[in-house]
């Protein structure tokens, strides 16, 4: 009789434990399904590149900088790239915005700062400065570099792309006003090395450096 009672108690305890585990699992799944999706934020320029840019501003080589011609830089993005969300190209004519993956600062600003930093680190002939919003007559005679970015995002084929064109304009005031206009196209791509948007942003930053090297090596 004692043995039978003991077996009954053991069976009851086992059933209770199974019931408790089942309830815990249900509550856990319910909590996961009801939890809101968290948003991730990304920066194009990491701390290393930002520090290098600040260091160059604080400690310029005056003798070298004086020999460089000044070029006013401006960067323009296609309208769909001005969204705060990261973009993925699904097929030839379809894009999607990554709702829970956002830029920590406008892509127009971060891409400009990245290109400005890389150009000044790479170019041996020019020093690049931000183009003022309102230029006076004196600034209007300085050389200008206008960069138009048409594609700058990740694709469903596990790569990132950067393409567009840039225009170099140099007006010289002599007896006859001379204007030099040179337009060059650019197109770069890089494969993703890891899954996730973090790697795609890192690869995008690398493409900006490639663009800076192409511009710096251009014959104008």
**10-residue stretch averages of pLDDT, the chain, 220 residues long:** 48 55 41 62 80 54 68 96 97 94 96 96 93 56 92 96 96 60 96 93 97 90
Question: pLDDT (tens digit, 9 = 90+) per residue, 23-46?
Answer: 443 344 334 334 457 999 999 998
Q: Give CA separation, 59 vs 54, 56, 68, 101, 124, in Å.
A: 9, 5, 16, 36, 17
Cα of first residue to Cα of last residue in the chain, in angstroms, is: 102
Distance CA 186, CA 162 (A): 8
Helix axis angle, 107-122 relative to 197-217, nearest 10°? 40
pLDDT at position 164 is 98
Q: Which fold has domain 41-217?
A: Rossmann fold (3.40.50)
Distance CA 104, CA 116 (A): 19
Decide: helix, strand or coil at residue 111.
helix
pLDDT at position 82 is 97
pLDDT at position 68 is 85
pLDDT at position 10 is 53
Tokens of 136: 């006076």
Name residue 87's beta-bridge partners. 97
The answer to whether the CB of 101 falls within 8 A of the CB of 39 is yes
pLDDT at position 189 is 97
pLDDT at position 171 is 74
Identify which of 127, 3, 151, 145 has the alpha carbon closest to the alpha carbon of residue 78. 151
Q: What is the 3-state secondary structure (H, E, C) of 65-104?
A: HHHCEEEEEEEEECHHHHCCEEEEEEECCEEEEEEEEEEC
pLDDT at position 211 is 98
Instruction: Report, in angstroms and rounded to the nearest whole number, the Rg of the chain calculated over CA atoms.
Output: 28
Distance CA 163, CA 210 (A): 11
pTM: 0.74
pLDDT at position 32 is 39
The answer to whether the CB of 68 falls within 8 A of the CB of 126 is yes
Name residue 101's beta-bridge partners. 40
């Amino acid at each position: 009789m004692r043995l039978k009672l003991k077996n009954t108690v053991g069976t009851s305890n086992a059933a209770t434990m199974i019931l408790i585990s089942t309830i815990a699992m249900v509550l856990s799944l319910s909590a996961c399904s009801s939890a809101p999706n968290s948003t991730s934020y990304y920066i194009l320029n990491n701390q290393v590149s930002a520090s290098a840019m600040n260091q160059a501003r604080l400690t310029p080589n005056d003798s070298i900088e004086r020999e460089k011609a000044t070029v006013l830089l401006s960067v323009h993005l296609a309208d769909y790239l001005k969204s705060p969300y990261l973009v993925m190209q699904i097929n030839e004519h379809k894009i999607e915005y990554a709702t829970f993956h956002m830029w920590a600062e406008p892509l127009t600003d971060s891409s400009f700062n990245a290109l400005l930093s890389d150009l000044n680190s790479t170019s041996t002939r020019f020093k690049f400065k931000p183009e003022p919003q309102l230029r006076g007559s004196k600034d209007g005679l300085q050389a200008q570099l206008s960069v138009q970015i048409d594609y700058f995002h990740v694709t469903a084929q596990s790569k990132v792309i950067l393409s567009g064109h840039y225009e170099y304009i140099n007006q010289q005031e002599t007896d006859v006003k001379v204007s030099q206009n040179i337009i060059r196209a650019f197109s770069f791509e890089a494969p993703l090395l890891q899954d996730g948007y973090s790697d795609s942003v890192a690869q995008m930053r690398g493409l900006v450096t490639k663009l800076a090297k192409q511009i710096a090596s251009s014959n104008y």
